[in-house]
Amino acid sequence: MPTPTPRPGGQSAPGTTASSRTQASDGVVQLDLDRAQRRGYPEAIYCEGKSPADLRTIAALVREHPQMPHLFTRADCERAEAVLTELPDAAYDPVARLVAWPPQVPEPAGEKVVVACAGTSDLPVAREALLT
């Protein structure tokens, strides 16, 4: 069966259903392991509101799937430390509050993009946009 082609706007390719997606679950989170192939960008775990214990559990599940990149967004220092406990080689940017695993930066895939901000209070969001 051919690999689904990512579509603009985050739409799934025709014929791709929830039952055909590769998923991993541990009771705390259900990871969408083929999101990068299907939608064109990797799984993202929104850390704000999750406990450090839950994030350690999620990071341990992520570690079992090294073939897929994962982003942990809105990770303050406490939550980033929880993720880094399970993924010590992950890259953490404290300004963007972003943890990326595996830490290798992908090759640019297109044209240049400008990320602009109006002041220092916008830096976290601008940095997150730059890195993602």
0.85 surpassed by pTM: no
pLDDT of residue 36: 77
pLDDT at 16 over 90: no
Cβ distance 82 to 58 under 8 Å? no
Question: Which residue in 63, 24, 17, 58 sits closest to 38, CA to CA?
Answer: 17
Are 54 and 28 within 8 A, CB to CB? yes
Token duo for residue 79: 């939550």
Predicted local confidence at residue 26, as pLDDT: 61
Kindly report, residue by residue over 97-124, the tens digit of the pLDDT: 999 998 877 777 788 889 999 999 999 9
**CA 58/CA 25 separation, integer angstroms:** 9
- State the DSSP H helix or E strand holding residue 80, giving kind and residue range, or none if neither: helix 77-86
In sequence order, what are the beta bridge partners of 93?
98
| CB-based contact 128:100 (threshold 8 Å) | no
CA distance 47 to 49: 6
